[in-house]
Amino acid sequence: MRDGWIAPQRLFDGARLHEGPGLRIAGGIVAEVGPAPAEALALPGTVTPGYVDLQVNGGGGVLLNTSPTPEGMAAIAAAHRRFGTVALLPTLITDAPEVMERAVDAALAAKGAEGIAGIHLEGPHIALARKGTHAPRFIRPLDDRTVDCVRRLREGGVRVMVTLAPEAVAPGRIAALRDMGAVVSLGHTDATFAAAQAALAEGANCFTHLFNAMSPLTHRAPGVVGAALDSMMPAGIICDGVHVEDEVVAIALRARRAADLMFLVSDAMPTVGGPDHFRLYDMELRVQDGRLVNPEGSLAGAHVTMAQSVARLIARVGVAPEAALRMAVTVPARVIGAPDLALLTGRRVEDVLALAPDWSVSGTLAGLPG
């Protein structure tokens, strides 16, 4: 759009949802947020920084595991940008060491590319008992080869999240990864409550897709779910009505010890913005009745966007819009140490969303008339 003022019905500035303020565009950048003049372009709905997704396996028909290249990452980012996600971590699930090394090379080459905020290594250092759709033949304890990959990423200035199980890691390894600046997230684990707490004490600082692929909370064994809910560390959660029931999402939010300890992830696969099926390892996964399943009918990743998740949080779970937007923008940006991704001022119009009154994504400010 041309330079000038926009007066949206609501404006989320990365911290609060406001009614009244406008924003001034200059040279394709949000230059100012403040009182809008009378001649400002009125806009129904809400303006917000674009969504930040820390767990994206694929999109647009592309799976990172089978296309661990800069081009593969770019295709995934472009597919999700169509649905309001402007920054993401391409996510490599459990695979052979050489596939991880190729993905690391790709992340280093793609540093600074549009929409790519780093990389998420989800496994292979996980518990066989909580593997989900991850191939058991590649699961192994944390080794020097992976540590070297993380070191290369961090020395190259690339943000990295590592999902691992405490039982797959020798003492001191979590601390070493944290000292490098990696986000160490506990997931795909059958650890006890005490083991999870020990991992947190050593430096683990996040949880991967809460409830899914982790030891559950029961009345005599709190498990990793209990450790997550009782901690002050952030946890990702999939809000598609399939991986976690809406009522359980609401319970988890109420159970946390403070605000801003939960964030949305899509855990999206290539079917988002792509065909309804793809191959992972040696099997075909397919969307059936809105669920992404393997040949046995078990869940295998998710077929959902961040935009759908935000709308569901508000309409079905009953989360206040401001809190839902913080879960999709502010908290994930903070988790990876990129607070600028939650700002409006200074952002390109292509990275700022216009949301319809029903919280669906209408487009970006770049697509407004003028």
Nearest to 37 by CA among 9, 2, 4, 11: 4
- Separation of alpha carbons 249 and 229, rounded Å: 12
* Element counts in the chain: helices (H) and strands (E): 10, 20
- Separation of alpha carbons 269 and 63, rounded Å: 7
Count, residues in the chain? 370
* CB within 8 Å of 182: residues ≥ 6 apart: 150, 153, 154, 160, 161, 162
Nearest to 303 by CA among 51, 65, 69, 83: 83
Are the C-beta atoms of residues 65 and 99 closer than 8 Å to each other? yes
Residue with tokens 């065909």: 275
Question: What type of residue sits at position 162?
Answer: V
Nearest to 83 by CA among 65, 55, 59: 59
Element (H, E) at 308: helix 306-312
Buried b (16+ CB within 10 A) or exposed e, 302-326: bbbbbbbbbbbbbeebebebbbbbb
Distances (CA, A) of 327 to 81, 142, 331, 344: 18, 30, 5, 16
267, 276, 289, 340: the active-site residue: 267
Residue with tokens 């039982």: 167
- Separation of alpha carbons 317 and 327, rounded Å: 13
Catalytic-residue membership of 240: no
Catalytic residues: 267
